[in-house]
Structure 1
């Protein structure tokens, strides 16, 4: 049996494609760099992360993008020669009719080795996808801003531009927030699958079909084909925003967005990716193989597909490879702008940039939280020259909601440890500990409990005896509190608000997971 979610912790809006024996999934990254997270599998249970496609500022400029804007709902497809990726760069999201949404396409002949510069498509809405017709023609499908429906427009892949006029082919099923469209030509029908109901607890997936690409589209009488059981609180929630794939054995599956709330209905792990088996009925509609419409936590394995070896990501990174691994993310800018492996042998040096509430240049190197019991540990050397310099570890959701466990000091040589809380943009000190003696290195740790509902902030001088500085709830780092679309991250951090080129040296980055 395959256990859901298949991609844990902040992996929303999945798009899937199969190329022979290989399956690839792309997910949203929003304000996190690099843009779009890619995964590869051969059994749809075990996944390896691949290099991101948007790794150059010439492809994606996120400077100044607000929280939970940036890269929304990428769509990954393959035409037999090239991989295609379309995505939205959302610049604002204030008021459903006044989103600034710019859609682009990039392509690659080798998904693991470099992608093109982007080509601008349109700005009429978000969640674009590419539909490849059997005659070789391509069409862009996207929702229309204001949730006014789904439009289709032909794309000329020779000229790399949209041609002819867009057509609004479906205004949704009346459930509201019609988005995330994917189009399929299966048999004699065109199937239009859409996310509706909003991306929270009312989220669902609906389907319509037509014998013509341009409609009219009739609604599936069994809609929604996927949603969540609101009574069974320990089940997958927020299920929706799905994409279909057919296996090499002819089976059908769909990947979809989901969340795992805690007992208080708060989702610190953000929106994740799950997998469901589906079947086509005699009248041609699609239904979950379980016979229900709720996302299941366990589903059958792929038929006659050999399990691939599972390679677990390294949890402790001591920088032996002197590169920033693909499991790391930074905010809005490439980490190379503030991180160096060469300035001190055996350490990663972070040069301080803006304070963590900035939407521009921030020195934060982070990994997403994938387990309820999780955390970060590091050994840091840092000598602050003023109170406006600080470095340490962060537990972060967005620029308005985070915890910082930092070392700071003043020009008199007095240093201290401090736990800062930012709740809705209001920053306050919740604990402070003066350091009685100076020493080169200090060990810092943030760790959560089994439920992920509480976090402790601890430090040590020798990595053996630990002292607790503070304990907090994690509610402010959840989708529900932040009204955001990402998820909690743990990271190493440095700021120098006076721009004196202050820096901190980190001996390692250890992600704490489970026991």
Structure 2
């Protein structure tokens, strides 16, 4: 689908174009939004959660994008505590907009009962589906798939929740030819003539052997597509491809030649019963809901989406930060990041270490499978607790960091720190380095990372041994535990893929 790592996208087709929402986990802005005319060329759009505060120690996950009656709806979950603790603490929130460009509404909390939220719209009514989390010891943590009516006018749940019999973790609901289909990650399919089931699994098994997000998308001409993981697995952890779907004569979806059609005639579902309107429901007597408040969309004069560039260089001459850069949990605000204090440079003011779950001055972008990432930066640390440099970052427990720092005997020097599941190590001795801007480079090939540095951008010196890497982000990080808030100025960051995308 794209040339870089994109984690479990929710994809829809609306108004003649495709839209994809992708969670960024612990990285701000929580959810990225893209549009495409053909599922191949993708353009990044403004962040839908730009005004939403990220949790200090949680992650954003499970976005679900939908479109109905001229309004775009986005659900997302937030995991605030580790599932190993028993509780999940996973609030599910809703935002909406009249256009994928916004403006997006403030979030509304729906509940915190579980994960994998999705909205299903039919005949003027909407339903929230989710996978319930059961924290009670000795029980399966999957408490079933549940559905409850969602009134779009007030953005509130109404009536009682219904157990979807035969549901599965992460299931999304689709309707075709009188049948309701549940598609879950894995990728398993089940169907029922009734919205709440019972759902019966496809007797042929999973749609694809590789598994994946399992999002079905109906195209402009009535064709269908499925999001899945690439054949042969994911080099970066959660890459996504789209595969064409055919509907066999027996009414089950098929992908490629994985499962031949049976040739049986598609059964006609019995009269499908929908979830009834509950006493006190805001639905009208005809089962439809009152119209939503009118929302005004901004004028969209953008040209058609262009392919995502394979090579990207940012000299930070613009007045606004490019969409491709992401920060850890907090937005890039003037309190720690500026494009104007030193014109033509990105200025970071150092805060906590990359091991922190709170105030980290880190700006990065997704890596390619094999790539070269180069940074030109300037910093003058005067204490060993001041560090600034190039980082490969997966999360607060897994990262590799080539940085400028201060050594009591050597003065300004280059050093490498790594964190492997929280275990800190220094795989190389500090190297004295002269004052002035420094070029830092990370070379990723075949699952290994090599650091090099240069004083002039032409002659390079290897720093430290090869380091193992998998999925992650490449960028800059600045730390200052002295309270002085070290300034780190970045003149350039450049990403160059070394191999073609799949």
Tell me, yes or no, if the aligned pair for 2:173 and 2:180 is still in contact at 8 Å.
Answer: yes
TM-score by length of 2: 0.85
Q: Deviations over 1:260-280 (max 9, x none)?
A: 65xxxxx66121111011111
The one of 93, 108, 125 aligned to 1:119: 108
The one of 12, 16, 21 aligned to 1:17: 12
The one of 193, 209, 212 aligned to 2:191: 209
Match of 1:284 in 2: 251
> Secondary structure at the residue paired with 1:510?
strand
Q: Deviations over 1:449-486 (max 9, x none)?
A: 2x2x2211111111111010123232xx43xxxxxxxx
**Residues of 1 paired with 2:479 and 2:307: CA distance?**
38
Q: Deviations over 1:406-457 (max 9, x none)?
A: 0101577811110111111111111133325x321111111112x2x22111
Tell me, yes or no, if the aligned pair for 2:43 and 2:306 is still in contact at 8 Å.
Answer: no
Q: Which structure has the larger Rg?
A: 2
> Secondary structure at the residue paired with 1:149?
strand
Match of 1:447 in 2: 443
Change (3 A) 1:253 1:408: same
> Secondary structure at the residue paired with 1:141?
strand
Spell out the pairing of 1:13-412 with structure 2 (5 A cutoff): 13-56=8-51, 59-65=52-58, 70-95=59-84, 97-133=86-122, 135-145=123-133, 146-172=141-167, 178-195=168-185, 204-228=186-210, 239-257=211-229, 269-292=236-259, 309-310=306-307, 312=309, 315-336=312-333, 337-370=335-368, 372-410=369-407
Cα RMSD, aligned residues only: 2.0
**Residues of 1 paired with 2:229 and 2:9: CA distance?**
7
User: In the TM superposition, what is the alpha-carbon distance from 1:308 to its structure 2 partner?
Assistant: 6.8
Q: Deviations over 1:201-233 (max 9, x none)?
A: xxx2111111111222222111212232xxxxx
User: In the TM superposition, what is the alpha-carbon distance from 1:148 to its structure 2 partner?
Assistant: 2.3
**Residues of 2 paired with 1:259 and 1:106: CA distance?**
34
User: In the TM superposition, what is the alpha-carbon distance from 1:144 to its structure 2 partner?
Assistant: 1.2
Tell me, yes or no, if the aligned pair for 2:166 and 2:199 is still in contact at 8 Å.
Answer: no
Q: Deviations over 1:181-202 (max 9, x none)?
A: 111121211111112xxxxxxx
Tell me, yes or no, if the aligned pair for 2:165 and 2:196 is still in contact at 8 Å.
Answer: no
**Residues of 2 paired with 1:405 and 1:167: CA distance?**
53
In the alignment, is residue 422 of structure 1 matched against residue 425 of structure 2? Answer: no
Match of 1:303 in 2: none
Q: Which runs of 5+ in 2 are unaligned?
A: 134-140, 261-303
Deviates most, 117-126 or 249-258: 249-258
Match of 2:268 in 1: none
Q: Deviations over 1:318-338 (max 9, x none)?
A: 012132111111101112241
Change (3 A) 1:257 1:138: farther
**Residues of 1 paired with 2:461 and 2:44: CA distance?**
36
Deviates most, 410-419 or 37-46: 410-419
- Paired residues in the alignment total 448
Match of 1:264 in 2: none
> Secondary structure at the residue paired with 1:223?
coil
User: In the TM superposition, what is the alpha-carbon distance from 1:311 to its structure 2 partner?
Assistant: 5.2
**Residues of 2 paired with 1:99 and 1:167: CA distance?**
21
Deviates most, 37-46 or 7-16: 7-16
Q: Deviations over 1:222-267 (max 9, x none)?
A: 1212232xxxxxxxxxx22211111122211112345865xxxxx6
> Secondary structure at the residue paired with 1:507?
strand
Q: Deviations over 1:104-145 (max 9, x none)?
A: 110000111321101111111101000001x11000011111
**Residues of 1 paired with 2:486 and 2:431: CA distance?**
21
Change (3 A) 1:51 1:469: same
Q: Deviations over 1:82-111 (max 9, x none)?
A: 000011011113238521111011000011
Tell me, yes or no, if the aligned pair for 1:14 and 1:242 is still in contact at 8 Å.
Answer: no
**Residues of 1 paired with 2:231 and 2:32: CA distance?**
18
Tell me, yes or no, if the aligned pair for 1:379 and 1:506 is still in contact at 8 Å.
Answer: yes
Tell me, yes or no, if the aligned pair for 2:3 and 2:310 is still in contact at 8 Å.
Answer: no
> Secondary structure at the residue paired with 1:312?
coil
Q: Deviations over 1:317-358 (max 9, x none)?
A: 001213211111110111224111121122111100101100
**Residues of 1 paired with 2:231 and 2:148: CA distance?**
33
**Residues of 1 paired with 2:336 and 2:232: CA distance?**
34
TM-score by length of 1: 0.83
Match of 1:198 in 2: none
> Secondary structure at the residue paired with 1:92?
coil
